[in-house]
Structure 1
Amino acid sequence: MTELDAFRTSVRDWCDQRVPTDWRTAQTGISDEEFVAFQKSWFAELHSAGYAVPHWPAEWGGGLRTRGAQGPMSVPQQIVLYQELAAHDAPRLVLAFVGIHHAASTLLAAGTDEQQRRHLPAILDGEIWVQGFSEPEAGSDLAALRTSARRDGDTFVVNGQKLWASGALHADWCLLLARTDPDAPKRQGISYFLMDMTTPGIEVRPIRNAVGDSHFCEIFLNDVAIPEANLVGAVNEGWQVAQATLGTERGMTMLELAERLSNAGFRWLVQACTPVEDSWVADRLAQFEIELAGLRGLCRDLVERSETGQTGPADASIVKLYYSELLQRMTGFGAEIGGLPAQAVLTKPASSGWESGNWMLDFIGSWEWTIPGGASEIQRTIIGERGLGLPR
């Protein structure tokens, strides 16, 4: 047995013992308080096993724990971990997602030593983060943001509004972009802040969507004081810092999502079509299987090259575009073959992913992925200009 086989066996044994078999029923139709409590409990369970942040450096709590020792988790091990979690239908870390991916990558790439010491251990203890980037007039064109941050001694006073802030109702901290120089070219006058969500002047309003969820929120900022110590990077250079955050959203997080789509989403799709008696359905399933193999290969290649600093300027956008549109096609097909019964499902488990098997709701939710983090049109522009060198 190889070392990787032994690791798979250990993860599989852990999943058999620890993944709650009734979580889907228990997480359907619950209150916000019950959802938050379950998410924090499940995160703590994964963290205690060394499975919550396998992509983090070992010195900050990432990687494996074996016989009291700790070391980095290799890309093949991460793939095995995500495969087994998906195969065992483990709940997703919905609330911790921004913290363990976007906030952590930002802090590791551009945060001060004090910011890292303050927040990275706190994230492992359950600190929840939200991303405060988009605004009513600055979505795909993020650099058009108008939220202002005016220096006042050793603080910045922030006024403005953020939109589509996922999970803001439960967040402890926010990754915030604000304009600190209104006269500078729009990509050169933005700064990046860490904002305590308990600061006076912050109001969070949930946005109820068509299926009754309130995942997205608005954040209103009225004379919110942020200490200068919470500035990430230099003043007016927040756009460069934000690219690292967006690169993570478009790239590194895809490794987990690709394995879940391949091992859980596709399995449920095949089950929904069984027995396959229509050649057109069989052809669609075969095509999806081929596309999923391509997605997994792209994600693995991106993560491996990221570790050696060899990624291209558009690689993360390619993966994000590919995943989001494949997710949309797969869930749309699921809704199609699900027929009228798929239209009648009104709720799905709160801790599930975008491929819960409730096809119509999954399909509606899949549109989130072709818009946030850079809409598909923006991804194609990045690929054309930065990847292929085409003119603007």
Structure 2
Amino acid sequence: MSDRDLAAFRDTVRQWCRANIPTDWRNAQTGATDADFVAFQRDWFQRLRTAGYAVPHWPREYGGGMPIPEQIILYQELAAHDAPRLVLAFVALHHAAATLLAAGTDEQRQRHLSAILDGELWVQGFSEPGAGSDLAALRTAARRDGDDYVVTGQKVWASGAQYADWCLLLARTDPEAPKRKGISYFLMDMRSPGIAVRPIRQATGEAHFCEMFLDEVRIPAANLIGAENQGWQLAQRTLGAERGLTMLELAERLGNAGFRWLVQECRKPDACGRRPVDDGYIADRLARLEIELTGLRGLCRDLVERHDAGTVAPADASVVKLYYSELLQRMTDFGAEVCGLPGQTVLRKPMSGGWESGAWVLDFVGSWEWTVPGGSSEIQRTIIGERGLGLPREPAEA
């Protein structure tokens, strides 16, 4: 695409943002009820869908097909205009879609991809109380019974399970196989009998995560995705969607609105009328963070472009996930430091926002969500060392 075409597209997105992003959404979503949160998220998704901005990363035949340079501009402008995030649809748009496109049958794709565009919500049923970073240690069991699988077990850290219609579920179908060999991947209807969901109240006051208890839940064999006992390999594709293309939007938000709020925080006078930004140490910290954020945004754009070209290396997504998560932690930690005692009294942050809301203490507490779940920083470093740098593998378990 020519520079003139990209400039015209940017102008179109800017005009759309000015006309469609609710100006008071942060106030309205702070302390919102679950019903108001869900209604707002559904409305925002349909606004984006109508404009053609909801699934730019999907193939054209399913409603996407936006060229990579335009995707970059889209996320830059949404971040610059402080647009709400598609929190509820995140798993559906990225994890579920990537899984279905990689290994789903034609029937599964036709059934679910169109339903996602109509508002179908998904949850990821991977982690368990004894299988977090070591996901392959999962114990939820699925046994074949006629035309169904019968599943029993427990899942945890299931984001948005209380709202979900469907679940991406990993369960062990061969208890005798090595732990990475006996896992299968299912599409589970969350309205099935035997499913109990319990939200987990977090330190920030939110209940973003849930536990799921599965008691003899019947899943039709037609809802198996991929081959039986081959779910581990497919799960890596799902996690790759989280660690790869989705990071472009998050990096733009952190480096745009998030950093802008941090600078504004540093410009607020303290009780003595002094502004932290006038302190040389604070100014130096801001400069360092801006450099790191510029690097992150460039790294994510490069990853997206190489993904489109088919030249992504095995550890590249882990590099981005590690860099983003630890930079998010450093930045929100600094925000909590400079906001002082008044920041300790902020007890709520807006729903439909990101991990950089400007409620710095809550943001910092929430930032640990990124360095532990979804593959801890230690796991990411192992992947980078072994798959990226070719270092010797860690010793196998005895």
Specify the TM-score bucket, using the shorter chain as the normaliser.
over 0.9
Equivalent residues in 2 for 1:251-262, closer than 5 Å: 251-262=244-255
* Aligned-partner Cα distance in 2 for 1:365–1:122: 31
1:234 counterpart SS class = coil
Q: Is the 8 A contact 2:149 2:219 kept in 1?
A: yes
Deviations 1:151-207, CA, capped at 9 Å, x for gaps? 111210000000000000000000000000000000000000000000000000001
* Aligned-partner Cα distance in 1 for 2:117–2:236: 24
Name 2:48's counterpart in structure 1: 46
Name 2:7's counterpart in structure 1: 5
Name 1:181's counterpart in structure 2: 174
Amino acid at match of 1:37: A
Name 1:305's counterpart in structure 2: 306
| Structure 1 portions without partners, runs of 5+ | 63-71
Q: Structure 1 length normalisation: TM-score?
A: 0.96
Q: Which moved more, 1:112-121 or 1:303-312?
A: 303-312
Amino acid at match of 1:308: A
Amino acid at match of 1:53: V
RMSD: 0.9
Question: How many residues are aligned here?
Answer: 383
Q: Structure 2 length normalisation: TM-score?
A: 0.95
Amino acid at match of 1:290: I
- What is the deviation of 1:389? 1.4
1:98 counterpart SS class = helix
Name 2:234's counterpart in structure 1: 241
Name 2:186's counterpart in structure 1: 193
Equivalent residues in 2 for 1:270-281, closer than 5 Å: 270-274=263-267, 276-281=277-282
Name 1:168's counterpart in structure 2: 161
Q: Given the alignment, which residue of 141, 146, 150 partners 2:143?
A: 150
Name 2:214's counterpart in structure 1: 221
- What is the deviation of 1:211? 2.6
* Aligned-partner Cα distance in 2 for 1:308–1:154: 41
Name 1:65's counterpart in structure 2: none
Deviations 1:45-99, CA, capped at 9 Å, x for gaps? 111001111111111011xxxxxxxxx2122211111111111111110000000
Q: Which moved more, 1:83-92 or 1:140-149?
A: 83-92
Name 1:124's counterpart in structure 2: 117
Name 2:270's counterpart in structure 1: none
1:367 counterpart SS class = helix
Name 2:23's counterpart in structure 1: 21
Amino acid at match of 2:236: Q
Percent of residue pairs bearing the same amino acid type: 75
- What is the deviation of 1:221? 0.3
Q: Is the 8 A contact 2:248 2:300 kept in 1?
A: yes
1:296 counterpart SS class = helix
* Aligned-partner Cα distance in 1 for 2:34–2:89: 15
* Aligned-partner Cα distance in 1 for 2:43–2:126: 28
Deviations 1:114-141, CA, capped at 9 Å, x for gaps? 0000000111110000000000000000
Name 1:325's counterpart in structure 2: 326
| Structure 2 portions without partners, runs of 5+ | 268-274
Amino acid at match of 1:216: F
1:134 counterpart SS class = coil
- What is the deviation of 1:308? 2.3
* Aligned-partner Cα distance in 1 for 2:101–2:202: 34
